[in-house]
Amino acid sequence: MDLVETTAYVKHHLALAGRSDTLFSDDALVVIQQASRGLPQEVNNLAVQALVATFVKDKSIVDESAKMAVLEVVEQ
């Protein structure tokens, strides 16, 4: 998937979970798309990891700091 498709994919899954608010910043979605190479299962895994990192930091949106946590996981 490209960036547009990945963004739509994440938003679709959030909508299925009952969330219509913004949970991922645009830059976080870019990193998720690039790190996952657009593979749906990898998008899922990275999105969940980013959400957990956001929760741990007591934030309400996946942003730059959670994005960096995702990159650390990908590099391991």
Tokens of 61: 């949106």
Q: Tell me, which fold does domain 3-75 have in CATH?
A: Helicase, Ruva Protein; domain 3 (1.10.8)
How high is the pLDDT of residue 75? Answer: 62
- pLDDT tens, residue by residue, 23-43: 999 988 998 899 899 999 999
C-alpha of 64 from chain center: 11
Confidence of residue 54 (pLDDT cuts 50, 70, 90): confident
Domain ranges of the chain: 3-75
The C-alpha torsion from 10 through 54 and 18 to 2, rounded to 10°, is -10
pLDDT at residue number 56? 84
Tell me which residue has tokens 């895994």: 45
